Structure 1
Amino acid sequence: MKYSKKPVVLYIITKSELGGAQKNVYDLIENFRKDYQIHLATSQLGLLTEFVSDLDVAVHLISNLSRDIKLSSEFIAIKECISLINKIKPDIIHAHSSKAGVIARIAACISKTPVVFTAHGWGFTQGTPPLQRTVALIAEKLLAPLSAKLICVSESGRQQALKFGVGNKNSLQVIHYGIANIPLCIANSSQQPPRLIMVARFQGQKDQATVLRAIAQLSNHPIHLDLAGSGSSLEFCKDLAHSLGIAERVSFLGDRTDVPDLLAQSQIFILSTHYEGLPISILEAMRAGVPVVATSVNGIPEEVEHGKTGLLFPAKDIEQLAQHLNYLLQHPEERERLGNNARQLTRQLFDANLMVQKIEAIYERVLADKVKIKR
């Protein structure tokens, strides 16, 4: 829909680090900036703000917006957010990530601005710390009625919300991530020796340790593992690689902006994790034709169909992960079959244009409702 005046959309996300939620926000901004006046608010400068600034999109900092639970900071963050809303007067606020969702919805309610919230993974998901889970569930139950729409990135996330009484069938909508079908190098599944890769932050949610322990069981294969990402558990994992005697077979790459190139050089993608929404890293691997071996939690089975587009294993199951990797290492033809199937699936179900169309439909409904209220 074209408007006489570009509607103003304010995106709010807690962190500007490299992650799936940030990639999703960037994709939305890149696609909507022609028809909407876009603003981005986050807590600090980082890769997301850098990339968004290159699009000539205004960036604002809410310095007290943090993941930590601290009431004094929360009140200040709400005041900062209200001040920003009063300044730019958005027609829609689209909040991403748990803490930003809390702050934005309270500020939007006070400012009488419609807000959409995307839950990239609920804070009350099984596997999160008990205190965080309890606080998150209470907050989401209280704030759900303030949301014009609650977007879940997986059906698993929607069912979880319904189970715990967060939102309802009308307010909750599933919109899977979509990634651009851009021309890129496709991985050579038969390359020897095979390279394995995991792209994820080194923090409590992710489980690189299980991957390292599984690799230690594959001493009969001349393989190399690349671990891209940074975070609090990085040094622990480096020490673990040394203690397992596999340090020479593992490269810790740090944060990378050339992930498509890394995937094109890889033969197997691994994601070991405790809980997830719908990992974009898996979709990027599938787009590159790299077979995926991943933990069967939350939204991951909606991306990876076991035996057709990849292989799944239970969380923390070192033995099962090692068996899956051993099988794919011994059968390059299976790597090729799974990789080809995965590429086709991303084009059919996880297309960026489809995602954008669904979210724009929500924006249009919200704007239409706003006009009705004014009348």
Structure 2
Amino acid sequence: MRNNILIIVDNLAAGGAQRQIIEYLKLADKNIFYFKVVNLDSDVTILENDIKQIGLEVINIRHKGFFNLSTLFKLYKIIKYEKPAIVHTFLFTSDLYGRIAAKLAGIPVIISSVRNIDKWQKWHHRLADRILANVTDKITINAECIRPYLVNTKKLPKEKIVTIYNGIDLNRFDNLREPKSIKAELCISDKALMVGMVSRFSEQKDYDTLLKVAQEISKEREDVYFVCVGDGKLKPILDSRFSIRPKGVLSEAEGRDTRNIKFTGLRSDIPDLINAMDICVLSSHYEGCPNVILEYMACSKPVIASNVGGCAELVANGKSGFIVPPGDINSLKDKIVLLLDDKELRLRMGKEGRGLVEAKFISQRMVKETEGLYKQLLNPKIAYILSQFPETHETFILREIKALKEKGVDVKIISLKKCRDRVIHDEAKEFIKDTIYADVSVLRIACSVLSKPLRSLGALGYVLRSYFGKPWEFVKAMYVLAECLSIAPMLKKMRIKHMHSHWATMPTTAAVILNKLTGIPFSFTAHAWDLFIDCDGLEEKINKARFAVTCTGYNKNFMGYFCNNGQADKVYLNYHGLDLSKYVGGQGFKESRNQESKYVRDPQSAIRDTQYAIRTTQYDKISILAIGRLVETKGFEYLIEACGMLKERGIDFECFIVGQGPLEKRLAYSVERIELKDKIKFLGLQTQEQIKKLFSDASVLVQPSVMAGNGDRDGIPNVIIEAMALGVPVISTNFSGIPEVVIDKKTGILVQEKDSNELANAIENLHKDCYLTDKIIKNAREHVEKKFNIDTNVRELIEIFRSNGVL
């Protein structure tokens, strides 16, 4: 289905903004977008036929006066009837009326375009822009020079401003008339030189400065003609002062010889006229991104332009032309004379300018960037609601969000808490600036309650019903309710279509509350303790959600018990995954365990061995690595006991435990009690890069997960997947979702939970059995590539979103 785009413009005069609209409409993808153009000045329709020739409809409105409510009403009716997905306005009057009407009509996406640094605007114009910026999704500009003006002078939000440079269709500049015929038409000798300017006659364009230079140069040489192309309110005045006169006839007013100055009026053959010029000028007082400079350069002409607006962004000073101070007659004259006297310089600069246009300013690029903006704004936006972002131990969520964004899914992160972690992974830092951190705003809460009193009462009722009997959880839920009342208006403004939370605890409570406040549907991903321990209202959360996701088959079966009859299929299994391009190597893939042993591989694995050489060396010392929060579910106390048994057996080892948590002092005491301080080291929190270095030195990863006394448990610890990807053999427990990744004697070793002796035996036996180790390393990597690849798993998640109408 095509998306309707309604373009609103002040008039259809032959101006730069209007020509850019036509350039875009000619090349826009009509299979994706359907366009109509609204012209607010039915008296100015010069370019209307150009739009109709593209096959598009033009709707004309007769707007007159300072503020015309009739115009607003007509626009509102048109917009309501057309039901566009996007309203895109150009120039101030259209920006004003178009955005108000689009907001009143409930249009989902509103774009404004600023084409100039409009110095004529007064305080009330700037105030209107500032107010309307709140209902505007993006403000496009055509030159970077406009950005500081909008941000610093107009106080518009910088994050909404997007630069899309003008583009021109180079086909317009092929097969042009011979310069000789144009000169003959203008009564100019074929051997004479032409200096030209194409622009409307207005104070902004400052024809006066160019004509004063023309007057001076005409007194000095007769082989130069100045051609002024365009129309405007100042043309009759300048025409009377600088009109063409027979040779030797002076102006009575100023005694000037102006015979070499010509005014052509409006012309439809602009490329032909430019092609006949030898030097092209734009002497404006202010500009945005002037199309005419691009047209000059497309004809391979040297350009002299005022140092205003985006002129310096288009003209490479000293290479494709010259940039001169605005209104500076002497500077302009000097550069014109320099080019008149140096044909080689004119040709070289013209060639350089043409190259710049071809590289940066063609219509195809402008169209691609504009359509990209449309698609970005029309893409469904998903709010990811998290307890805290970033969170050191939740790299799996970070990887998921990063992969979704890379695949074009527009994800907005909402964090219920500020980040409190001392260690922040590098990959998370790029997302922090765009994360919305929830706060409690009394004003926004009041607005939410007053605007949606029944919805607010419904949200309060949910909190009371779910948490009233649990004082501490009730306090937390009431605070989350306050946050949600503050956030709710922002979700509508951000055009959020769907919410997805991670953890079935307070983040999903927030999703339920926001669903009751806004009607925006939600889904959630459940992991482990949020299912088995802190599962307040889990049944209602599952059944109110559009769908639910979990990361193990073990969890999926558990969640199915809470589903209403026939709805168990709304719970999906989606394993966490790794970006395997970043998990290459590790000790298991680098070293040789026994120079005399030969490992026979099948032909298919030989392909793999060009990338990974499986280790076959038996090390004298075992390097044990354990990673995770220092909590009961990780079972590190059993690893410490197993290390004590290894010491008693005379086995040399070292053990590194990475992480922090409430059991740190107790575990450290256990190590000290069995006199293993020299063998077991607590490393605290480590970054992802530091952890990879630890993996590269490890002989084995031991993950002795257990069920805690309160029923808490792991799902599939992500560190197991990371170890397997990096060629480090894994020993873990036959518990929860772990057997889905660690298949005993195939992709790792499984032992019974809370059995220190069996754990010590597994470490010792794996160390001695090089062939089993090699088989495990090889199989583990293949298993991870098949089931725990972030690219594959995010595609599956996107398909889950898509099949449930989110995307």
Q: TM-score, normalised by structure 1?
A: 0.91
When residues 33 and 47 of structure 1 are mapped into structure 2, their CA distance, relative to the original with a 3 A threshold, is farther
CA contact (8 A) 1:197 1:227 kept: yes
1:197 corresponds to which residue? 196
Question: Could you list the runs of 5+ residues in structure 1 that have no partner in the other structure?
Answer: none
Which deviates more from structure 2 when the two are superposed, residues 15-24 or residues 161-170? 161-170
1:19 corresponds to which residue? 15
Cα offsets for 1:292-346 (capped at 9, x unmatched): 1111101110001211111111111111111111111111111111111100001
When residues 148 and 246 of structure 1 are mapped into structure 2, their CA distance, relative to the original with a 3 A threshold, is farther
Q: How does 1:137-286 map to 2 (within 5 A)?
A: 137-182=126-171, 184=174, 192-218=191-217, 219-221=219-221, 222-242=223-243, 243=251, 245-286=256-297
Rounded to whole Å, the distance in 1 between the matches of 2:54 and 2:100 is: 29
Question: Aligned to 2:316, which of 293, 301, 305?
Answer: 305
CA contact (8 A) 1:18 1:255 kept: no
Q: Does 1:82 align with 2:76?
A: yes
Specify the structure having the higher radius of gyration (Cα).
2
Q: Does 1:93 align with 2:87?
A: yes
2:726 corresponds to which residue? none
For 1:47, what is the secondary structure of its paired residue? Answer: coil
Rounded to whole Å, the distance in 2 between the matches of 1:165 and 1:13 is: 21
Rounded to whole Å, the distance in 2 between the matches of 1:28 and 1:139 is: 28
For 1:231, what is the secondary structure of its paired residue? Answer: coil
- How many Å apart are 1:115 and its aligned residue? 1.1
Cα offsets for 1:250-299 (capped at 9, x unmatched): 22111111111111111011111111110000000001001111111011
Q: How does 1:57-68 map to 2 (within 5 A)?
A: 57-64=56-63
Rounded to whole Å, the distance in 2 between the matches of 1:225 and 1:153 is: 29
Cα offsets for 1:50-102 (capped at 9, x unmatched): 110112211101211x5x6x12x2x2211111011012111111111111111
The residue type paired with residue 214 of structure 1 is V
Rounded to whole Å, the distance in 2 between the matches of 1:214 and 1:360 is: 43
Cα RMSD between the aligned structures?
1.9
- How many Å apart are 1:366 and its aligned residue? 1.8
2:762 corresponds to which residue? none
- How many Å apart are 1:246 and its aligned residue? 4.2
Question: Aligned to 2:497, which of 339, 348, 372?
Answer: 372
For 1:230, what is the secondary structure of its paired residue? Answer: coil
- How many Å apart are 1:152 and its aligned residue? 0.9
Question: What count of residue pairs does the alignment treat as equivalent?
Answer: 358
When residues 246 and 371 of structure 1 are mapped into structure 2, their CA distance, relative to the original with a 3 A threshold, is farther
For 1:257, what is the secondary structure of its paired residue? Answer: coil
Q: Does 1:40 align with 2:165?
A: no
Q: How does 1:322-333 map to 2 (within 5 A)?
A: 322-333=333-344
Rounded to whole Å, the distance in 2 between the matches of 1:204 and 1:91 is: 38
Rounded to whole Å, the distance in 1 between the matches of 2:84 and 2:330 is: 51
CA contact (8 A) 2:230 2:264 kept: yes
Rounded to whole Å, the distance in 2 between the matches of 1:12 and 1:122 is: 20
CA contact (8 A) 2:129 2:154 kept: no
- How many Å apart are 1:235 and its aligned residue? 0.7
Rounded to whole Å, the distance in 2 between the matches of 1:134 and 1:324 is: 38
Rounded to whole Å, the distance in 2 between the matches of 1:278 and 1:225 is: 24
Q: TM-score, normalised by structure 2?
A: 0.43
- How many Å apart are 1:164 and its aligned residue? 2.0
Q: Does 1:120 align with 2:115?
A: yes
Rounded to whole Å, the distance in 2 between the matches of 1:263 and 1:353 is: 22
- How many Å apart are 1:368 and its aligned residue? 1.7
2:52 corresponds to which residue? 53
Question: Aligned to 1:9, which of 5, 11, 14?
Answer: 5
The residue type paired with residue 15 of structure 1 is N
When residues 24 and 133 of structure 1 are mapped into structure 2, their CA distance, relative to the original with a 3 A threshold, is same
- How many Å apart are 1:179 and its aligned residue? 1.1
CA contact (8 A) 1:95 1:104 kept: yes
The residue type paired with residue 48 of structure 2 is T
Q: Does 1:31 align with 2:32?
A: no
Rounded to whole Å, the distance in 2 between the matches of 1:228 and 1:175 is: 27
